[in-house]
Structure formats: structure tokens, C-alpha cells
Amino acid sequence: MNKRFPRNLKHIFLLVICSTIAGQVFAQPLNKTEKFTRQDTLRGSIGPGRIGWNVLHYDITVQPDYNSKTITGKNIIKFFDEGTKLMQVDL
């Protein structure tokens, strides 16, 4: 009786091993030394400019001009306001 793996099973086994190793190589390190900037905080946190209003509808129109390599457009935002004095919109 031949105790060798069938050819297809060898390929599957090799693929699983390589996938596991590749996943560990490209995973995020646990000891990140990167410091967050003020811009990172503005993008990712819920501050006073992001509370008190909810967007109900976006109406976005974009017109590219390929000859001059420019883009023009407009954005209409319909929102529900709960009396907020500050609105932060990230573009």
C-alpha cells in the first residue's frame, strides 16, 4: 500500500501552509510605534462637529472635463438638525 499523499492533496496542503505564512508576514504588528496626529483624530472620532445632526440624503453631481483634467460639481446635503451650532463634514 502506498502511503504517499495524492497529488491534489499535496497541492492543497502546500497552499494552506503558504497562505498561513503569508497572512502572518503581512499582519499588523502589535508594537506599533506610530503616533496619531490631530488630523487622524478629526477623521476618526465623534466630536462636537459630528453630533447633533443626521444626514438624510446626499445629492452629488460631478462633471469631469477630460481636456483640462479638471472636475466640477456640487453636493447638496439634506440633514436633520437637533439645534447644533457646529457641523463637521469630511470631504
Please tell me whether the overall predicted TM-score, pTM, comes out greater than 0.85 for this model.
no
For residue 17, the surrounding DSSP H or E stretch is helix 7-25
Q: Summarize pLDDT for 35-64 with one digit per residue, the tens.
A: 777 777 666 667 777 788 888 999 999 999
Task: Write down the pLDDT at residue 32.
Answer: 61
Q: Which long-range contacts (CB under 8 A, 24 or more apart) does 7-14 make?
A: none
Query: Hey, which residues does 63 pair with through a beta bridge?
Result: 72
Check residue 63 and give its pLDDT.
Answer: 95
Q: Is the pLDDT of residue 25 over 60?
A: no
- The mean of the pLDDT values for the chain is 76
d(CA 79, CA 75): 13
